[in-house]
Amino acid sequence: MSTAAELLDAYHRQVRGVLPVTQPEGVTVDRDGPLLRVSGGKHWGYVEYRDLAGLTGPALDELIERTCAYFGSRGERFEWKTHSYDEPADLPARLTAAGFSPGEAETVVVGLAEELTGEPQLPDAVRIRRVSEPADFDRIGALHTEIWNEDWTWLAADLAERQANSPDHLAIFAAEAGPQMISVAWLVRDPGSEFATLWGGATRPEWRGKGIYRALVARRARFAVSTGARYLQVDASDDSAPILQRLGFVAVATTTPYLWTPPQSRPEQPPGQAAAEQPSTLGR
């Protein structure tokens, strides 16, 4: 069993400031000091960094301003994800002052993959299988649309493209009861580190509390181990974090996405009311 400090150290060294080995077509990666700026994706851009190289005060403000100008010249929104242990401590305030809108905070949880492979007994009607066909991706988009009551049909094309580009590094698992898809979750494995990340986990309400989410974690943990991954990591919502911690994940930090939108693209809204944004659930 690793301590929270040991898990955070592994996460900081291997995940922070590291990009996937393979980038989608059309994506551009640019560096400015400690920041990696990633633009040209289908959703919005983002920055990655391990630390901010000691920048504070006006020098940090200048970096933020240059980064906004970089994405603004492309007419592109972008996300700056902060972590609770980032320095300087006033980074969130400086981002807000620069026009960023904070999203919901999440808990970064990390677990040892080999310790998470135990699968619970599922209801007799339920089976889990790895999916990779376009028809299954369409069903996944429809399932998310139904569960979240908003249009997620775009997810089918996104998963299909990811599967085509990185078939060995993406594993998508669906739980089914007869012909009905009842839950789906996936794993992204970057061979450049010992980490794999978990995404998704949407389950039909009537099937919650029956061990299906836990089984999907175990199935993905076994896949991760088979690829040589040592750690599993999730940016977990307030609903998911307690469940994952009961399974053996350890909370190591919190993270908050800050989204910046070019002024010409911002919708009109009453003063003081932040524009609602749909957080990404796809994995980078």
pLDDT, tens only, 117-153: 999 999 999 999 999 999 999 999 999 999 999 999 9
Task: Output the pLDDT for position 265.
Answer: 64
Beta strand 250-260 pairing with 106-112: antiparallel
List helix spans (H) across 166-278. Answer: 212-226, 240-247
Q: What is the CATH number of domain 4-106+254-265?
A: 3.40.630
Per the listing, tokens 């393979």 go with 22
- The band of 226, judged by pLDDT with boundaries at 50, 70 and 90, is very high
Among candidate residues 210, 200, 155, 149, the one with its CA nearest the CA of residue 173:
200
Report percent pLDDT > 70 for the chain: 93
* Rounded distance between C-alpha atoms, residue 18 and residue 8, angstroms: 15
Q: Is the pLDDT of residue 51 over 80?
A: yes
Q: Kindly state the tokens that stand for 185.
A: 């979750």
* Rounded distance between C-alpha atoms, residue 244 and residue 109, angstroms: 8
* Rounded distance between C-alpha atoms, residue 243 and residue 255, angstroms: 18
* Rounded distance between C-alpha atoms, residue 270 and residue 275, angstroms: 10
Q: Is the pLDDT of residue 278 over 70?
A: no
CATH architecture of 111-252: 3-Layer(aba) Sandwich (3.40)
Q: What is the largest CA-CA distance in the chain?
A: 62
Rounded mean pLDDT, 231-241: 94
Q: Is the pLDDT of residue 249 over 90?
A: yes
Rounded mean pLDDT, 244-257: 97
Chain-wide mean pLDDT for the chain?
90
Task: Output the pLDDT for position 20.
Answer: 78
CATH 3.40.630.30 residue ranges for the chain: 111-252
Task: Output the pLDDT for position 22.
Answer: 72
